[in-house]
Amino acid sequence: MNKKLAAALSSGAVLVLALTGCSGSEDNKELDAWAKKVCDLVPAQNKKITAAYDAITKAAEDTESTPAELQKADSQAFQDLSDGYKARATVIQSAGAPPGAEGGAKNLQDAVKQLTALSAAYADMKTQVDGLDTKDQAKFASGLKDVSAQMKKVETQRQTALDALKKLESGDTKQALAEQSGCKQVSASPSASSTDS
């Protein structure tokens, strides 16, 4: 049953803040300073989120683990995902709207709203996993099936958050972010390439 959960997670992979690009920006010191604020914290957040997805996938593929061990691994991973996306929302909120970006304030609000909702969805997933009956194998398997179904709904939220981030990082903002070393690290990571779609 846990393999369905792993498949759902694999299809979602990692939301890499969509802060990647390849070309340089025009000379805009305010926008560059904004991009630096955001990108300085991206590698640590990305590492935490990537590790959480990896932990869930590993637990799902581990046929030797007991239900209690699976529950513990999934619970911690969902907590880490919730914390990671909440941290991303906080970073973007703190940085404010990208200077000079058309519709920047609205795009910022949308991205923060979607990341916050995604964080809450993962917190709900943790609660759902924590409530599974690990003493009854059949009930546990049934509960995991429900978690897997919920994960598909969360994937829709993840995609919505990704779309909001892409909108926030368009135009000159995307170019400014691409020049920052923190965002370059994210775009160079193996997990980044699997999540840009």
| Structural domains present in the chain | 2-9+27-187 (1.20.120)
User: Which token pair is 82?
Assistant: 């919730």
Alpha-carbon distance of 34 to 150, in angstroms, equals 36
Amino acid sitting at position 107: N
Dist. CA 169–CA 139, nearest whole Å: 44
CB-CB contact of 112 with 156 (8 Å): no
Q: What is the predicted pLDDT for the residue at 188?
A: 54
Q: Is 23 exposed, middle or buried (0-12, 13-18, 19+ CB in 10 A)?
A: exposed
Q: Give the amino acid at 30.
A: E
Instruction: Give the pLDDT confidence score for residue 61 in this predicted structure.
Output: 85
Q: Give the 3-state secondary structure of residue 74.
A: helix
Q: What share of the chain is helix, strand, coil (3-state, %, to 5)?
A: 75, 0, 25
pLDDT at 180: 87
CA 115 to chain centre: 8
Per-residue pLDDT of the chain (197 residues; tens, 9 = 90+): 555 554 444 433 333 334 433 334 445 888 989 998 888 887 888 888 999 989 988 887 888 888 999 999 999 999 999 999 999 999 999 999 998 888 889 999 999 999 999 999 999 999 999 999 999 989 998 998 899 899 889 989 999 998 998 999 888 888 888 888 888 766 654 443 333 32
CA atoms within 13 A of residue 102's CA, in its CB half-sphere: 3
